[in-house]
Structure 1
Amino acid sequence: MPHIIVEYTPNLTDLPFDAMLASVTRRLAESPEVEDEADLKARVVRADCFRVGLADSQRGFIHVTVRILAGRSEQAKKDFSQRVADGMLEHMPAFPPGMTAHLSVEVVDMDRGSYRKFKLA
C-alpha cells in the first residue's frame, strides 16, 4: 500500500513515465499517511483497446488509480489525489495540435480484512 496504477492510451506517445512515476512516488512518500516509502508500488499499463467518447482518433487519456488501505479520511484521500496529479502534470508534455488528452486520478479503498502482503527476501 499504496498501489499506483497508471493506465494510458497508446496514441499519447512519448510520455515520460519514468519521470512521472518518480515524481508521484516522491510526492506520496512525503505524505504523513505513508509510513514506509518501500510500500509504494507503481506501474504503467497500456490500454491497447479504448474509446474516448464517440471520436475515432485524436483523443486519449491517462487515468491513475491509487489503491490504499481503507480507513483514511476524505482529506487524506484528497491530498493523495492532488500529490499524484501534481506529479503527473510536472512532466506532462505538450500534445500535438488537434490531440485532446484527459488526466484523471482516483483514490480507491482496499479492504483491510482481505488484504495480505508478504515481504520476501
Structure 2
Amino acid sequence: MPHLIVEFSAGLFSPESQEETLFELNTALVGSGAIQKESDLRSRMIRLDVTRVGTEAGLRGFIYAQLRILPGRTPAMRAELSQRIAEVIRARCARPAGMAVQLSVEVVEMERESYAKEVL
C-alpha cells in the first residue's frame, strides 16, 4: 500500500547511494509503526536530469519526496512520517559546492475506493 517516490536533481545522490538511501528510508518508515506490513512499502528514487528552480541563474536543485498512503493515520502520524523521510534525506544527500538545494516532503492520502492492489 504505501508508495514512497523520491525525485531529485542530478548530482544529489550517486547511483551507489540510492539503494542504501532507500533501505534507510524504508527502515525509518517501518520503524514508525504506521506501516503494518513491511513488504507493502514500495519505494523508488528517480533522478531528474533536467530541472529548474525559479528563474534566476545559478546552481539550484531540489529533492521532492512523496509518501502515498491509505487514509487512517492522524495528522501527527503523517507529520512524523514526513520528518522521518526528511531526516534520512538530509543525512544522505550530497551537497555539491555552490548548489542551493531545496527539500520538500509530502504525505498524500490515496483514495481507498479507487486503489487496487494484488500480488501476482
Give, in whole Å, the separation in 2 of the partners of 1:85 and 1:42: 15
Partner SS, residue 104 of structure 1: strand
2:92 corresponds to which residue? 91
Instruction: Specify the code of the residue in structure 2 equivalent to 1:106.
Output: E
By how many angstroms is 1:114 displaced? 0.8
Structure 1 residues 92, 46: CA separation in 2 closer, same or farther (over 3 Å shift)?
closer
1:63 corresponds to which residue? 64
Normalised TM-score (structure 2): 0.89
Say how many residue pairs are matched.
119
By how many angstroms is 1:13 displaced? 5.7
By how many angstroms is 1:54 displaced? 1.0
By how many angstroms is 1:65 displaced? 0.4
Q: Which runs of 5+ in 1 are unaligned?
A: none
1:5 aligns with 2:5: yes
Instruction: Specify the code of the residue in structure 1 equivalent to 2:86.
Output: A
Instruction: Specify the code of the residue in structure 2 equivalent to 1:104.
Output: S
By how many angstroms is 1:86 displaced? 1.3
By how many angstroms is 1:56 displaced? 4.0
Give, in whole Å, the separation in 2 of the partners of 1:82 and 1:44: 18
Structure 1 residues 85, 47: CA separation in 2 closer, same or farther (over 3 Å shift)?
same
Partner SS, residue 113 of structure 1: helix
Instruction: Specify the code of the residue in structure 2 equivalent to 1:117.
Output: K
Normalised TM-score (structure 1): 0.88
Instruction: Specify the code of the residue in structure 1 equivalent to 2:105.
Output: V
By how many angstroms is 1:57 displaced? 4.2
Q: Which runs of 5+ in 2 are unaligned?
A: none
Deviates more, 1:6-15 or 1:66-75: 6-15
Higher helix share: 2
By how many angstroms is 1:55 displaced? 2.9
2:31 corresponds to which residue? 30
By how many angstroms is 1:14 displaced? 2.9
